Amino acid sequence: MSLSERGFAVRESSRRRTPALDVAVVGGGMVGAAAALALAHAGFAVALIEARAPRPWQVEDEVDLRVVGLAPSSLALLDQLGVWTSIHEARSSRYRRMHVWDAESGAAIDFDAAAQGRDALGYIVENALVQWTLWQALEPAGVRRIGPTEVRGFHAGADGVRLELGEDGEALVASLLVAADGAGSPLRERAGIGSRGRDYAQRAVVAHVRTERPHQETAWQRFLAEGPLALLPLADGRSSIVWSLPEAEAQRVLALDDAAFLGELGVASDFRLGRMLAATPRAAFPLRLQLAERYQAERFVLLGDAAHTVHPLAGQGVNLGLRDAAELRDTLVEARTAGRDIAAPHVLRRYARRRRSADTLDALGFDALARIYAWRSPALVAARGLGVRLLDRLPPAKQWLSRHAGGE
């Protein structure tokens, strides 16, 4: 199959070959699918390449263990893409309040949507539901779904970027290649982009639990010496837990029988929701801070986990990725409106500069928070507690923090 058949058109005025496909997005997770859909809605010709199609989501299935707290900025993007109503009506749980407290000092801080004139601080939704809803919306919006296949290589030139797909090296050509292929991004490595960060030597243990008292549409988070424990409200009245623990401790907790696990979880949560009554099977995933050294190369950009992974204590990983997607769409629209090549170096640098700066500040802020809550010295614990109590008494500061977390 010729290149003209797989993605090249001829621009009559210059006789230069110009890709008929504007953007090839690699990676069909939440962020990659949202980016592809956002670009298609903006009028770009888009293909999404994915190694494995997502498993169909069904309301009869057990609630997925991986959930995300969608911030207002993410809700706005999903609404613009026409998918939020379907997600919301299928299964979602708003949280109106957030209560964060320190096990060592006893200091606490509260955030309340009503105090900010909002109906909710955010919504807890299953990752699988978001991904499946986005996936279903792609083809009706004109996105070409290609897969299951993998990108074996790519080469960027003056006229576009040529991707080699699958075992037979079938070619696809686009003006821009977007890598949304996860934290271990093979495309990032092929583009010669390094990363830096640190391994937290921790795992996040996840499960859904039924509690003696209702969750009160509140996200609860307790900072313990070993790591934070979050209890997130689910639509069916249960809570989803994300319990960050050192590697060996996480393995021990995973091996406990249900009764012992529920007992230890109750103690760790300070019985804030009463006794833990039942739990689903548990799972765990490793925690790492990772930031790409740059977000762009020739006709190539990173977004989502391929660009950054952060500690889950603030629940912002997916929200940062969706902000990447919105920023990329806006940057490309701005370039097209000005009559520029959407993959010109200065265009991609603009996207990279804006998002890498914001992502880095947030990622390092979350990392600093994790370090601060790891303090064991009595003097430092007392200082930490004093700082939290002062912050809780400063409504403007709390409002700024809440709005920043919401993407405003």
The CATH code of the domain at 67-129+197-287+375-405 is 3.30.9.10
Copy the structure tokens of residue 288: 């790492």
Please state, in angstroms and as integers, the Cα–Cα distance from residue 23 to each residue in 80, 131, 179, 299, following that order: 20, 20, 11, 10
CATH, domain 3-61+131-196+289-370, list 3.40.50.2300, 3.40.630.10, 3.30.565.10, 3.50.50.60: 3.50.50.60
Question: How far is residue 111's CA from residue 99's CA, in Å, rounded to a whole number?
Answer: 7
The answer to whether 23 and 30 have CB atoms below 8 angstroms apart is: no
pLDDT tens by residue, the chain, 408 residues: 333 334 434 333 333 455 779 999 999 999 999 999 999 999 999 999 999 989 999 999 999 999 999 999 999 999 999 999 999 999 999 999 999 998 888 888 899 998 888 899 999 999 999 999 999 999 999 999 998 999 999 999 988 999 999 877 789 999 999 999 999 999 999 999 999 988 989 999 999 999 999 999 999 999 998 889 999 999 999 999 999 999 999 999 999 999 999 999 999 999 999 999 999 999 999 999 999 999 999 999 999 999 999 887 666 789 999 999 999 999 999 999 999 999 999 999 999 999 998 888 887 777 777 777 776 777 877 777 777 777 777 777 667 666 656 566
Question: How far is residue 133's CA from residue 87's CA, in Å, rounded to a whole number?
Answer: 7
The answer to whether 25 and 180 have CB atoms below 8 angstroms apart is: yes
Residue 23 DSSP code: E
Answer whether 0.75 is exceeded by the pTM: yes
Neighbours of 393 (CB within 10 A): 9
Domains in the chain: boundaries: 3-61+131-196+289-370, 67-129+197-287+375-405
Strand, helix or coil at 311? coil
Please state, in angstroms and as integers, the Cα–Cα distance from residue 199 to each residue in 146, 310, 354, following that order: 34, 11, 26
